[in-house]
Structures are given as C-alpha cells and as structure tokens.
Amino acid sequence: MAEVTTNADIAGHEFLAFKLGAEEYGIDILKVQEIRGYEAVTRIANAPEFIKGVINLRGIIIPVVDMRIKFNLGEPVYDQFTVVIILNINGRVVGMVVDSVSDVTTLEPDQIRPAPEMGTAFSTEYMIGLGTIDERMLILVDINKLMSSPEMGLIEQMAA
C-alpha cells in the first residue's frame, strides 16, 4: 500500500532548500547527513550518466547522483557553489549533486500546497507539494521515494 503524505504529516517540518537550474527545491532536513563541497568522483564503468561515480566518505564508499543530469536541466557546471548533499535513505548513504544550497526553512500547513499535475522535470509522484515562503516557492521532494525508485537503481525497494 502506498504511503500517502499529507500536509499534517509535514507541518512544522524543516526543509533544506537547494537549487537545480532556476528552480528551488526542498527536502526533509532529517534525511540530510551533511553538506559538502563538490569534489572529484571516481567514475564507475557502465553506470547511468546521472550517477557521477563514487566518493570515499570517511571509509564509506557512496554513490553520487547529479540531479541536474537526472532531470535534464542542461549541462551541469561545477563551480564553488556546487555542493553534494549527503543523504541517509533507509540506512543507505547517497550523495546528491545540486547547484547550491540556500537555507533551512520550517513550513506550516498553510504554506504547503498540493503538487499540480504538469510536465515538470520529474514526476509529481516524487513531489510532496509546493511550499510557499513570501515570494519564494519550494518544490518539496519526497527524497525517500525518489532515491528508492527503480529508475535510480540505488536502493533496493523496501518490502511492503
């Protein structure tokens, strides 16, 4: 049975805001282990293009996914703002390359709107909703569902 996330479930939660291209996204801060500057990765032969490779994080080899490539957001540029968000998804550590990280924001129920059905860079099944903060809008991503999806191939599906 699919887990349904409601506004009440995520109310008062803190989200890490990050940029991919022109859009700003938010993920549950509790899934974030650390934030690191981008460093060279070791490529893995025959890996999908969006899997940049692996890095050695204090003795743990972790896969690094470039979300800009995954979501077809143009040619990625690696500069001083490029960061790797180290995530802990169901006990599996994964790195996610993004353009930049801006802040941590607490969202209340009245600041969260349902995700509209539209042709976005990624399927709305991975969206929790849209968070609004004054003039800003955060695309709230269900990072567990996204990283555990079969197309990512990173984390085995949890038994239902």
Tell me which of 71 and 44 has the higher pLDDT. Answer: 44
Q: Residue 25 pLDDT more than 80? A: yes
Alpha helices (H) in 29-79, listed in sequence order? 67-70
SS3 of residue 131 by DSSP: strand
Q: What is the pLDDT of residue 122?
A: 58
pLDDT at 4 exceeding the cut of 70:
no
Q: Are 33 and 88 in contact (CB under 8 A)?
A: yes
The pLDDT of residue 1: 36
Q: Domain coordinates of the chain in residue numbers?
A: 13-150
Sign of the Cα torsion 1, 62, 122, 19 reads positive
pLDDT at res. 154: 66
Contact 24, 102 (CB under 8 A): yes
